[in-house]
A and B are shown apart, each in its own frame.
Chain A
Amino acid sequence: MALAASVPRRAFRLPRSSQIARHAVLLGFGFLIGFPFIWMLLTSFKPFEETLSSPPTILPVHWRPENYAEAWRAANFPRFFLNSGIVSLTTVGGTLLTSVLAGYAFARMRFPGRDALFLVFLGTMMIPQEVTLIPNFVLLSNLPCPIPVDTICNPKGAGWFDTFTAISVPWWVSVFSIFLLRQFFLGIPNELWEASQLDGASHLGYLWRVVVPLSTPGLLTVGLYAFVQSWKSFLWPLVMTSRPDVRPVQVGLSTFALENGTYYHTLMAASAFTIVPVVILFILVQRHFLDSIARSGLKG
């Protein structure tokens, strides 16, 4: 180490030939990873007959943007999008609320059993979804129905089966998000809390006025993570719903794919528009998101 100190520190720079090799490998894998997206978009603009040609055409010979309108109308996609929007946004709100409060409690508050509870929280991450799938299915089908609105609970006495609440509420807690926010909150200097305390601020006031504004990247990450997880979840809404009125996009797309298995031109168009909302969100906040995810992994 003494040797290293005597050498002037400079940024790690690579020779030119190595740079080119590096880009070649990265571009090659980048193409492989991005290929399904490219192929999806290209196919989505081809007429049906063209999708059947072998070998396939690369660029569409006849561009056919009408595929999108046809796919949009072929199944009740407007409804599925609305459903997914409702479920995902409520999940984002719920997750943010529970994670901010719990993350703050774990990071800043002193109470007996705190560290033991934190371990219990982390331990639940090991439980596979398949274990809780059937119990939750039974449990939620037997919950009481205080508000007889058919999107909140099932008026036919099947608990929360076939409702938005069933798809959304169980996912309003995310241990990963609590953990991530706890790490964020721990990074806020203690002096701020002491100062706020002298100003007579309560925990809630300090949390709302100081901690939350200082943790925007963390909150964005948690929000996006909750949105993405909810938007792409499939198995749970598949078993918890049976009618199109409450089914989200993924289940709708899956059913659409089963019914139109061979019409790949509209199927690709449908896949494309179900991906778009998350891709836009991701590109908007990717820097915060990737950095925060990276930060969480370091503590493993």
Chain B
Amino acid sequence: MTIGQTAERLQLPTRERTTRTSRRAALRWERLQGYGFLSPALLLLLLFHLLPVFYALFLSLFDARVFRDMWQPGRFIGSGNYGRLLTTSEFAQSLANTVWFALITVPLGLFLAVLFAQLLNARIWGRTGYRVTYFLPYITSTVAAAVVWRWIFQPRVGVANSVLQWLGLPAQQWADEPRGVVQLFGQLIGVPLEGWAAGPSLALVTIALVSVWYSVGFNTVIALAGLTTIPTDLYEAARIDGANRWHLFRHITLPLLTPTLLFLLIVETIRSFQSFDFFYQMMAAVPVPGAKVVTIYLYEQGFKSFNLGYAAAIGMLLFAIIFVLTLLQFRATRSRVVYAD
């Protein structure tokens, strides 16, 4: 049916024929159908994604080391798990590791995504090929990717160390290295560094790089979509006004890209705080303390020690942190976001 035929039909006096009561019945029917269409998704979402948050809150108030029953998970200890959590140095350490991880992956991930998108946003030969290659890591499983990266970073015969040796640099332990990256660099030039000055462990940095590799394609595709919405007229006009390439980027691209960047910033921050698979897969059976992030700590407490109440408390705290961070990022950047019309 064409649009023309439709318009013809719409002129028929159907409105007059419908009485008020039947219209009300139709509205009620529409309403019922609306809820009906929504119900499968809503039911699954409630059952497996929303209610569990409340159950986690409930569970986190119990000492559930000897788990008895779903509704009586153990001894009620109120905020005991949270108290223990906030005073345990192991948790503080794991949180610091997670923060380091986010501080490396988020800026680097965003920078590379904008760079790649900027390079791909032109009529160049092989654009599809690049896009597919850059996206490929994101669709492979983290397990297979971790297995391959562990082989590349294998301390004795891995190809990464071969490259280092070829460059005349000492071989590294990569994902098994507890020492800090700044400390290792200091050793190289003969400056001893300890404590905070040692920086994040090489194990953590290695996994962070793999993590950036994994998600950079996704971020690039989104950034590229953001770039294509910027009208080319703006660039032409600015060019005529004598703007150079940096000016174009700084005063046109960057401001008009902020909605996309905000989206990526939030998604990447959440992703970095939730990151688990690469840590679980790439480290040895006994994780390096400097790379034990909150999610690994949660997994150990929940599924190795079966301390379910405590693990639920870790999860709730992680959620709270992510929630606050998202809100803060949204507030801080919203005032600076420019929406192109």
Contact = CB atoms under 8 A, between A and B. Distances in A.
Interface of A: 1, 3-5, 7, 9, 11-14, 19, 22-23, 25-26, 29-30, 32-37, 39-40, 43, 51-56, 97-99, 101-102, 104-106, 109-112, 114, 117, 120-121, 124, 126-139, 142, 169-170, 172-173, 175, 178, 189, 191-192, 194-195, 198, 203-204, 228, 231-232, 234-235, 239, 249-250, 253-254, 257-258, 264, 267-268, 270-271, 274-275, 278-279, 282-283, 286-287, 290, 293-295, 297-298, 300
Given A56-B157, A102-B37, 13 more contacts: A12-B235, A14-B122, A33-B134, A35-B152, A102-B41, A106-B38, A120-B50, A130-B276, A131-B319, A234-B141, A268-B147, A282-B132, A300-B266
Nearest to B277: A234
Nearest to A282: B139
B37 A105 contact: yes
A211 B147 CA distance: 43
Contact of A133 (B156, B315, B323): B315
Interface string B1-45: 101011101101010000000000001001101110110111011
A211 to B, nearest CB: 12
Contacts of B224: 294
Contacts of A132: 48-49, 52-53, 56, 315
A293 B119 contact: no
18 contacts: A26-B120, A26-B124, A35-B152, A53-B157, A98-B40, A101-B41, A102-B40, A106-B38, A110-B30, A128-B318, A130-B274, A130-B315, A137-B302, A138-B55, A139-B70, A175-B45, A228-B139, A290-B131
Interface residues of B, number: 121
B190 to A, nearest CB: 27
Nearest to B223: A297
The dominant DSSP class at the B interface is helix
Contacts of A29: 112, 116, 134
Given A22-B122, A40-B148, A134-B311, A170 B225 contact: no
Given A34-B136, A56-B157, A283-B132, A121 B45 contact: yes
B200 to A, nearest CB: 21
B84 to A, nearest CB: 16
Contacts of A283: 132
Given A30-B134, A295-B225, A7 B240 contact: yes
Nearest to A193: B6
Given A102-B40, A234-B143, A264-B154, A139 B217 contact: no
Nearest to A30: B133
Interface string B205-235: 0000000010011100110111001001111
Contacts of B135: 282, 286, 290
B222 A294 contact: yes
B6 A135 contact: no
B326 interface: yes
Contacts of A35: 152
Interface string B174-214: 00000000000000000000000000000000000000010
B139 to A, nearest CB: 5
A3 B240 contact: yes
Interface string B151-174: 110101101001001100000000
B130 A22 contact: no
B263 interface: yes
Nearest to B10: A194
A135 B312 contact: yes
Contacts of A191: 3, 6-7
Q: Which among B9, B52, B217, B311 has the highest number of chain A CB atoms within 10 Å?
A: B52
Given A101-B38, A297-B222, A124 B276 contact: no
B104 interface: no
Contacts of A102: 37-38, 40-42
Contacts of A33: 133-134, 136-137, 213, 216-217
Given A110-B34, A112-B31, A136-B52, A170 B44 contact: yes
